[in-house]
Amino acid sequence: MSKELLYATNNPGKVIEVSRLLNFYGIEVVSPKDLEIDLDVAETGNSLEENAMLKAKGFLSVAGERYVLSDDTGLEIDALGGEPNIHVRRWKDGKTKMSDQEIIDYCLERMKNIPIELRGAQFRTVLVLASPDGKTEIFDGTLRGIIPLEPSLKRVEGFPFESLFFVPEWNMLLGEARDIDPAKKGEMLNHRERALQKAIPRIKELLDRT
């Protein structure tokens, strides 16, 4: 059984973010690209949990003897009744895949008449850790913030809201925290990192057995 953890995503930005944190804790992460796996799991679930589970089981089938970690993240904007939730990429019509810039523009258009004090939102990430024998465990993390009136010019491909999500407890945009060394971040954890922190002890326990 391999001590490598397969992170079930084709999003290069996510691979970098998750690998950086897990490597800090001594966990070796590989991506589908590293293993020359060509798989795109359809996210047909009705919740973050369902989508993360679909991805975990899909990649588990091609992971060999590796453990698999998958995730799904949703953004819930208070003033828009919790939209876009799981539908960030197909927010506008539920069908057409949108680019990062299209998502940013659409969000600002929908919120153009909403005052700053009513622009609260939260990110929520659900992680699924799947074992080679098919057993799964779920972890989650949330981060509260505010949608500002204008986005930052700094962009991270694959993460449109990192330039459009201000975190009051950090006094900075979500994307600005990306450049802080994990060893110096302390409690400045985003939604995915908060879920990962819950999962790390279990991941280490399982990999140490292999």
Give me the active site residues, please.
72
Q: How many CA atoms lie within 13 A of 206 on its CB side?
A: 24
CB–CB of 129/196 below 8 Å?
no
Quote the tokens at residue 142: 């949330």
Say which residue the tokens 């004090």 belong to: 117
Name the percent of the chain in helix, strand, coil, to the closest 5: 35, 20, 45
Count other Cβ atoms within 10 Å, centred on residue 123.
Answer: 22
Task: Find, among 168, 126, 160, 117, the residue nearest to 144 by Cα.
Answer: 168
Distance of alpha carbon 186 from its chain centroid, rounded?
19
Say how far apart CA 90 and CA 88 lie, in whole Å: 6
Radius of gyration of the chain from its Cα atoms, rounded to whole angstroms: 17
